Structure 1
Amino acid sequence: MSAPTYSRTHPATAGRAVSSRLPWWALALPTLAFITLLALILNPAEAHAAGGDPAMSHVVERVQQLISR
């Protein structure tokens, strides 16, 4: 069964620029999440659920030392 095809009633806007604006939270929320996760990686002592595997904490400490140089 084929679907009906709809044609445009007026032509596409070739001469006008299309402006699309993002809301402020579309950039703020991912940025905030990235900064929060980066802060937890750089300072694992602040992560309250950071328990268990000591090898992972050693890797994170090494990465932190390499970044701080």
Structure 2
Amino acid sequence: MPAAFRRSPAARPPRQRPRLPWWALALPVVSFAVLLALVAGSSRAGAAEVPQGLGPLLEILARIVRSGAG
């Protein structure tokens, strides 16, 4: 490499640390707090009543097939 393209160490500008905007820290904190509140509030929610087993599923499928054929 020719000497004309080399930079001396003194010619480099001093490095500056980039500063983050205020919202770069606030946004994750607020998001975490909202999600935590949603999860903590859902402990009182009850499960929906759903019939268990294969019988109800077969009844629903039979109704779908009958309604499509008629």
Larger relative CO (CA 8 A, sep 6+): 1 or 2? 1
With normalisation by structure 1, the TM-score equals 0.41
